[in-house]
Structure 1
Amino acid sequence: MKKVSNIIFIVLILSMIFVPEVKATMQQGLMKLGFFSPDLKESTLSLNLPNSTKSEKTEDYKLNLVDQKGNKTSLEDMKGKVVFINFWATWCGPCIAEMPSIEKLRNKYKDNSQVVFVILEVEGNKAKATKFMESRKLNLPVYYPDSEIPTEFFEGRLPTTVILDKAGNIAHITEGMTDYSGQDVVDFMDKLIAMHP
């Protein structure tokens, strides 16, 4: 009996390591317990607040994108809006784990024209990404890079999330899995939305 329980334990551990779906399920459980909350530093918030004495600095990051239908866009087209960019891949367990929380956040803003969600699949495999979203019943706007990705946004660690303010400045970056479904994220996004570009 002890041998059987040891085998089951080993299989479970190996599954968590090598099977992204099993790993994602375990990580989602940890997120529900309150782990993996984002550290929301309001580094750029004071730049655009009314009556701010600081000078407004606008970054000019270049990133061209293609959506699932082949439509092209860029960060330049999104200026004046809060942009939530999530870098992910279909094989990435932590990416899979955080996707439901991103969809929950997006659902809060799906009718808000001042917010854009860019779920950026870094491998460029449209068929695989489409199948992934359909199999998990996720309704997120998937994009693919059509130019070099700024290193200020993404250095290769998945998942990575970048939130840009309306002026195109980086308001927040998280490397690694995070739960985006909390009220603290909504409050942070709302502050960014309230700012003038």
Structure 2
Amino acid sequence: MSTSSRAWVKPVIAAVAIAAIGFGAYATVSKREVAPQLTFLSIKGDKITPESLKGKVVMVNFWATSCTTCVAEMPKMVDTYNKFKGQGMEFVAVAMNYDPPNYVLNYAETRQLPFKVALDTDGSAAKAYGNVAMTPTTFVIGKDGKILKRYLGEPDFAALHKLLAESLNG
């Protein structure tokens, strides 16, 4: 074969490679992870079970009282919760295992946090959610129990509110 009769080979290979990359990205996005099915223990001693969260859009926020970004974002998390709680959203703020329980309790009470606050005393919740080590880390879980989004650091609240509105109405 002459060089000119093989001129089509490189563009075809490039098109196939681009299609494969695109399909790989689509498959990654479409295969959302199922959120861990675990029971949290609230600072009030209540169990927050997977059954109690079933069919709701849930935000799970890993935080610590010693984390300046966590403390800074908390009023916005309260506003987010207050905006969406009436539409079926649930929120669990999970204090990291290194956070002294009395600090967490004091923070939750003095700030009058309106959502569920849980202690991860043994680190099992952070481990179940993919070895969460950095705070804040927030997961948005859809009504189907699958993780819609993971935020590392403070979320873009406009984008978060859009995602919550879509998920709650969908």
TM-score by length of 2: 0.69
Q: For 1:194 and 1:102, how far apart are their aligned partners in 2? A: 20
- How many residues matched? 141
Q: How much identity, in percent, do the aligned residues show?
A: 27
Structure 1 residues 19-168: aligned runs within 5 Å: 59=34, 61-112=36-87, 114-123=88-97, 125-145=100-120, 148-149=124-125, 150-168=127-145
* CA deviation vs aligned residue, 1:36-86 (integer Å, no higher than 9, x gap): xxxxxxx9xx96xxxxxxxx9772622220112211122343121101010
Q: Counting helix residues as a fraction of each chain, which structure ranks higher? A: 2
* CA deviation vs aligned residue, 1:122-143 (integer Å, no higher than 9, x gap): 1264321121133345433211
In structure 2, what residue type is equivalent to 1:71?
Answer: D
What 5-or-longer segments of structure 1 have no aligned partner?
1-42, 48-55
* CA deviation vs aligned residue, 1:138-195 (integer Å, no higher than 9, x gap): 4332112377225445421111000000111110001112353x3x322210111123
Alignment CA distance shift 1:125-1:140 (3 Å)? farther
- Secondary structure of the structure 2 residue equivalent to 1:178: coil
Could you tell me whether the CA contact under 8 Å between 1:118 and 1:141 is conserved in 2?
Answer: yes
- Secondary structure of the structure 2 residue equivalent to 1:120: strand
In structure 1, what residue type is equivalent to 2:91?
Answer: F
Stretch moving more, 97-106 or 132-141: 132-141
Could you tell me whether the CA contact under 8 Å between 1:90 and 1:132 is conserved in 2?
Answer: yes
What 5-or-longer segments of structure 2 have no aligned partner?
1-25
In structure 2, what residue type is equivalent to 1:87?
Answer: F
Q: For 1:90 and 1:60, how far apart are their aligned partners in 2? A: 25
- Secondary structure of the structure 2 residue equivalent to 1:111: helix
Alignment CA distance shift 1:106-1:57 (3 Å)? closer
1:171 counterpart (148, 162, 167) = 148
In structure 2, what residue type is equivalent to 1:77?
Answer: S
Q: For 2:104 and 2:136, how far apart are their aligned partners in 1? A: 15
In structure 2, what residue type is equivalent to 1:122?
Answer: M
Q: For 1:192 and 1:101, how far apart are their aligned partners in 2? A: 19
In structure 1, what residue type is equivalent to 2:67?
Answer: C
